Structure 1
Amino acid sequence: MERWISTFLEAQAAELGAARNTLLAYGRDLQDFAAWLARRKLDFLTLDQADIEDYLTFCADQGLSPSTRARRPTRARRLSAVRQLFRFAFDEGWRTDNPSIRLKGATKARTLPETLNEDEVDRLLDAARAASAARPREALRNTCLLELLYATGMRVSELVTLPVAAARGDPRMLLVRGKGGKERLVPLSPPARTAMVEWLAQRDTEQEALRKAGGQPSRFLFPSHGADGHLTRQHFLVILKDLAVLAGISPARVSPHKLRHAFATHLLANGADLRAIQTMLGHADIATTEIYTHVLDQHLKDLVLTHHPLAKD
């Protein structure tokens, strides 16, 4: 259970750029849940929905007095932490089901995803290319990472684990293995293809030198010396934050997931079909993709309020 919690928190930090206080709160809640399960000789792998409901009932019973309730996290926050953990576990293939999916909680208005505008994305890409003179290898790799992410809307976990075989032959379409092992094809833009070809040549040169030295070449497009064998989500988040600083953008506004939102929002704003965006994002339900129509509606509203000649303060 410790490994599940630590891996989940690392992913929250790397993919969503979750704040430190949020991670600490989730960590405390999940540690408390794990300890409660351990006392009952249960664990994350074997529990069912009834066990989670028993835990939430236990939490409510512990918070009956006002003084106790003031010191303890709300049921809604604990439920949120548990739900997100098991959603992540299902996506990672640790469980074949999600025992928290039918749990009832307080209804909450759905917030619109934060995204980056087209100018900000261009500045990030320019910042990646700008390092070519001082650090040519990093410039090729970082440009490829950003171009692929923005061109395809991949999840960061899908990006960093791309097999090098997917990049062979200058493909027009990229085969992506997504949640639950489902595969999908996404088209590549000309800049993304160019960046991938240039990085692939650099990567192959390095891997050939490694092979001649007696090492084992990597099967990943973005290899690393770490235990996973590929660039980690955490490392990519650090790269992205550094590029944001170079681009003059607040690092707090930049995360891999926001680039995924930018991909979908910019496509929709330029006339793309919602079903096509759903397919490229790998969403199982069109309702998940429809959130981007609300982002676009808000953008159009802001344009009217700020640029219309009759707009008032």
Structure 2
Amino acid sequence: MKALDLVALREWLAAQYSGGLSKTTLARRTASVRTFTAWALREELLAEDPGPRLSAPRKQRTLPSVLRADQAGSAMEASAAGAQQGDPAALRDHAVLELLYATGMRVSELCHLDLDHVDHDRRVVHVHGKGDRERVVPFGIPADRALGRWLSRGRPALATSASTSALFLGVRGGRLDPRAARRAVHDAVGTVAGAADMGPHGLRHSAATHLLEGGADLRSVQELLGHATLSTTQLYTHVTVERLKAIHDRTHPRS
């Protein structure tokens, strides 16, 4: 046990990394080692705890799949076509898609919206995000129209005494379950040729990417998405760079 020092632990991690283990797995094992060495110090099996000085490999952050702007438009059109017959659930699903893409909000935030969280005159929605932080997010005319149709024709058909003030309802009248929202996104995106399979979080990624590609600054996108730190939002700058590189490779004569 006395030979268990920082050098030995680093060699142990290096051997596992060379053996092909992922950074995520190594990070978990590093956390376990820290717990073990802290216990060994308390039991006086070690004179010094090397655990706190053992650095875990950083987890690799994969770039999220996003829709192109034209693909996002096609998904909205498919959803709108499904709502043309006036089915309450289809009207709801179209409003859900339009609002998710317009605002980039999380599906949990959308499902917790109440009627009074939407300001139709100003076309903004008051979103309660992580850590109970509230932000005000604008939405455009297509989302406003889809919401109007849902509220005038769809919601009254599903509302019951259990509906309270929830903005979006399930087929039994209760507050919309996130699984139903995910299914609506999957179904609409699934109709678009060449689009990656995705749920609401994919729409959130797409909205952020399209905002940045359209010229929005990083701080504004951070505020719209409700990210606590700018470093989280910066992930989307890598997405846009990768997309630009792919376009360059396809189109530039000397790429």
Superposition map of 1:140-289 within 5 A = 140-167=91-118, 169-206=120-157, 210=160, 215-224=161-170, 229-248=174-193, 253-289=197-233
1:130 equivalent to 2:81? Answer yes
- Paired residue secondary structure (2:190): helix
- Paired residue secondary structure (1:224): coil
Distance (Å, rounded) in 1 between the aligned partners of 2:87 and 2:225: 31
Instruction: Give the letter aligned to residue 221 of structure 1.
Output: L
Distance (Å, rounded) in 1 between the aligned partners of 2:240 and 2:65: 12
Contact 1:153 1:264 (C-alpha < 8 Å) held by counterparts: yes
Instruction: Give the letter aligned to residue 303 of structure 1.
Output: I
Q: Deviations over 1:83-142 (max 9, x none)?
A: xxxxxxxxxxxxxxxxxxxx9632233322221111211111111111134453233211
- Paired residue secondary structure (1:174): strand
Q: Offset at 1:224?
A: 2.5
RMSD of the alignment, in Å? 2.9
Q: Deviations over 1:178-209 (max 9, x none)?
A: 0011100011111111111221112453367x
Cα distance change on mapping 1:207 and 1:235 into 2, 3 Å: closer
Q: Offset at 1:78?
A: 7.1
Q: Deviations over 1:23-61 (max 9, x none)?
A: xxxxxxxxxxxxxxxxxxxxxxxxxxxxxxxxxxxxx9x
Cα distance change on mapping 1:207 and 1:79 into 2, 3 Å: farther
Counterpart in the other structure of 1:298: 242
Cα distance change on mapping 1:79 and 1:259 into 2, 3 Å: farther
Q: Offset at 1:279?
A: 0.3
Distance (Å, rounded) in 2 between the aligned partners of 1:79 and 1:124: 43
Contact 1:170 1:197 (C-alpha < 8 Å) held by counterparts: no
Structure label with greater radius of gyration: 2
Distance (Å, rounded) in 1 between the aligned partners of 2:206 and 2:30: 29
Scaled by the length of structure 1, the TM-score of the pair is: 0.61
Q: Offset at 1:259?
A: 0.6
- Paired residue secondary structure (1:131): helix
Instruction: Give the letter aligned to residue 287 of structure 1.
Output: S
Query: Structure 2, unaligned stretches of length 5 or more?
Result: 1-11, 13-20, 32-53
Q: Offset at 1:75?
A: 5.3
Cα distance change on mapping 1:169 and 1:190 into 2, 3 Å: closer
Query: Structure 1, unaligned stretches of length 5 or more?
Result: 1-59, 61-69, 81-102
Scaled by the length of structure 2, the TM-score of the pair is: 0.73
Cα distance change on mapping 1:218 and 1:284 into 2, 3 Å: same
Contact 1:126 1:247 (C-alpha < 8 Å) held by counterparts: no
Q: Deviations over 1:281-308 (max 9, x none)?
A: 0011111111111111111111111101
Cα distance change on mapping 1:156 and 1:123 into 2, 3 Å: same
Aligned residue pair count: 213
Cα distance change on mapping 1:139 and 1:77 into 2, 3 Å: same
Distance (Å, rounded) in 1 between the aligned partners of 2:102 and 2:204: 9
Distance (Å, rounded) in 1 between the aligned partners of 2:172 and 2:56: 40
Higher helix share: 1
Distance (Å, rounded) in 2 between the aligned partners of 1:123 and 1:79: 45
Cα distance change on mapping 1:173 and 1:134 into 2, 3 Å: closer
Contact 2:158 2:171 (C-alpha < 8 Å) held by counterparts: no
Q: From 57, 60, 68, give the equivalent of 1:109.
A: 60
Q: Offset at 1:223?
A: 1.6
Counterpart in the other structure of 1:36: none
